[in-house]
Amino acid sequence: MAPTSVPPAKEALPRHVAIIMDGNGRWARKRHLPRAAGHVAGVAAVRAVVRAAVDIGLENLTLYAFSSENWKRPHPEVSHLMGLFRAYFREDVTELAERNVHMRIIGNRSRAADDILAMIEDGERRTSVNTGLNLTFAFDYGAQEEIAAAAREMAREAARGELDPEIVTPQYFATRLLTHGIPDPDLVIRTSGERRLSNFLLWQSAYAEFAFVDTLWPDFSRAEFFEVLQAYALRERRFGTVAPEAVA
């Protein structure tokens, strides 16, 4: 059956969709192309999904663009990825601003090149007043690193007598994460057939629904995105409780 081209009604949409964009390398290998070609095709898929999210009125979309572990990849591949990030910020931020998208980047900014950091800050500034889609890129991001950094900072504050450990609830801890101000993801999608989180939004995904699709990221279309959203709309979310009929 072909994917539907019709999204669910806006009231049935998740508030926040997070996507692990996986499969660029395998997409290229299947076509006997260099891995770099897969990453280029992956950027086209990013544009298609972001535009679809804007068109249907999705509130929040987070994309796993580059993990803290991705620095371990061969230097030529990392350099190519950095070049793609530069090109995206140069070419797409104007469209995002015009389409009322509010862009933000989460991750460890200390390792980014100075020009990329400047592009990130410029893009966030240019879209800061927008009120449409909240688009978050997880760039040089690792959830374990994020959680450890938050715990470390709170420990320092407690040692200085600036923080009472008794106030540290799960709700308070969440305010110290990079995603503060963004609702936790309702739906996490991973492409390419892999079924793991790969250090992505581990804390925030405690009650997320998951959709693992076999499609490689460059082939993940607007229509398939809508199909996944339609399937989400049919799920019953209980957050640890039971369905009403089960207690009747």
Q: Which residues pair with 136 in a beta bridge?
A: 62, 104
Query: Are 47 and 63 in contact, with CB atoms under 8 Å apart?
Result: no
- H-helix or E-strand spanning residue 143: helix 143-159
Nearest in space to 140 (alpha carbons), one of 79, 65, 83: 65
70 is known as an active-site residue: yes
CA 54 vs. chain centroid, Å, equals 15
Q: Which residues pair with 164 in a beta bridge?
A: none
Q: Which residues pair with 62 in a beta bridge?
A: 18, 136
Structure tokens of 232? 């989400």
Residue with tokens 């230097």: 75
Sign, Cα dihedral of 71, 34, 38, 36: positive
Catalytic residue among 22, 134, 186, 199: 22
Nearest in space to 97 (alpha carbons), one of 120, 70, 72, 126: 126
Catalytic residue among 24, 70, 122, 214: 70
Nearest in space to 134 (alpha carbons), one of 45, 46, 57: 57
Cα 146 from Cα 106, distance rounded (Å): 10
Instruction: Please list the active-site residues.
Output: 22, 70
